[in-house]
Amino acid sequence: MEVIHAQGIWMAESLQQRTISQTDLWLLVTHLGDPKAAFLLLFPFTYFISRRAGVSVIWVAAITEWLNLVFKWMLFGERPFWWIGESGLYVNKPPQVQQFSSTCETGPGSPSGHAMVTAAVWWVVVSSLGSFLYSRTHSVVVSAVPYLLYVLMLVAVGLSRIFILAHFPHQVVAGSITGFILGIILGRRVPEGRPLLFFFSLSTGLLLCTVMLHAGLQHLGINLSWSIALAKKWCSHAKWIRLDTAPFSSLTRDCGALLGLGMAQYWRPGGFPLPWAPRALSLAVSSMGLYHVHRLPLPVQPQGLFYGLFFVKFVIVPQVVMVLVPGVVYLLTHRKKD
């Protein structure tokens, strides 16, 4: 692994030196590949185009990110920004690389969560779009365009993670392949029409299983906080260490989103029948609402309170997109027609 890691550092160094002028672009791409972007950006956009595709996105994103957390705990993957200092190979000649505000994630590095979730959720979108285009045009070339863009997106997200020293190349490849497989499998099992009890049981089960796994590994003498300590030690700026990148933050996000999805479908089975113009208005208002929900500052101490509020924040996300905003728009447009 030392040789693989060293080759990864060389690739990151070369990428930074050759494309340092495109830093803002790389940071934008890594932001769009962030798992939370699937919940806050892709989900509302997709939902108001196709309800089933939107439900698929949040479903696939939550399960994929949860599995990514479990894989990371099992594989103990290093991250480039701390491996450079810990390896001892660069004492005399450190690589000419720099960190960025998105670099200092605190979880283990393998497989890449950005690549894994991006590959999974965008497969749902791309496969639906490809099928739609083929049904309308019967052209293989036209229907293949979304799949080409899908590959380019995965490459861009992967390179952005290497550029900012968040991941090694093999971690990006592993995440992309795993996410692609999960996108195919989970996209065929969308929980539409499931009772609220299903989502409550799933959310609670994932939470309890993860806590039990964490406690069990700790009992065996495996310190699962090792990556947090290394991130704090080697991050260039302490303010770049954020609690919302910690493993339990992704867990509470996934469990909260799944429970919220079940609640939204319980409150309004089938959604609201909106024409294209009200749907566009709902998308715009929902996006603004989610932006402000995401921007709400949360107290980082005590951590239990932070995780609790983080859970509630993502329970709210499906309510805003699927019930609250389209419900208000439906009432206003319906009254106007009356």
Cβ neighbours of residue 120 under 8 Å, at least 6 residues apart?
A: 60, 61, 64, 179, 180, 182, 183, 186
User: What pLDDT is recorded for position 69?
Assistant: 95
Catalytic: 5? no
| Confidence grade of residue 111 (pLDDT, cut at 50, 70, 90) | very high
pLDDT digit string (tens) for 159-183?
999 999 999 999 999 999 999 999 9
Q: Position of tokens 């905003």?
A: 325
pTM above 0.75, yes or no: yes
Q: Report the pLDDT value the prediction gives residue 28, as an integer from 0 to 100.
A: 95
Cα 28 from Cα 21, distance rounded (Å)? 13
Cβ atoms within 10 Å of 296's Cβ, excluding its own:
9
Residue 110: which domain range?
Answer: 2-337
Q: What is the mean pLDDT of residues 104-128?
A: 95
SS3 call for 8: helix
pLDDT tens figures, 121-140 = 999 999 999 998 988 988 89
Q: How far apart are CA 150 and CA 123, in angstroms?
A: 7
* Alpha helix positions (H), 94-193: 113-137, 140-163, 169-187
One of 5, 31, 167, 214 is an active-site residue; which one?
167
- What span, in angstroms and rounded, lies between the C-alpha atoms of 263 and 267? 6
pLDDT per residue over 12-68, tens digit each?
999 999 999 999 999 999 999 999 999 999 999 999 988 999 999 999 999 999 999
Lowest mean pLDDT among 42-46, 148-152, 277-281: 277-281
Alpha-helical (H) ranges within the chain are: 2-19, 23-32, 35-37, 43-47, 51-75, 80-87, 113-137, 140-163, 169-187, 196-219, 226-234, 247-267, 276-295, 303-319, 325-337
pLDDT at 271 over 90: no
**From 5, 31, 114, 138, active-site residue:** 114
Among 45, 75, 85, smallest CA distance to 280 is for: 45
Query: What residue type is 294 in one-letter code?
Result: H
Does residue 335 register a pLDDT over 70? no
53-99 pLDDT, tens per residue?
A: 999 999 999 999 999 999 999 998 999 999 999 998 888 888 999 99
Identify the CA nearest to 264 among candidates 316, 308, 312, 204.
316
CB atoms within 10 A of CB 189: 10
Report how many domains make up the chain.
Answer: 1
Average pLDDT over residues 145-149: 96
The answer to whether 242 is a known ligand-binding residue is no
161 is in an annotated binding site: yes
Tokens for 285, please give them.
């208002």
Q: Contact, 282 vs 338, CB < 8 A?
A: no
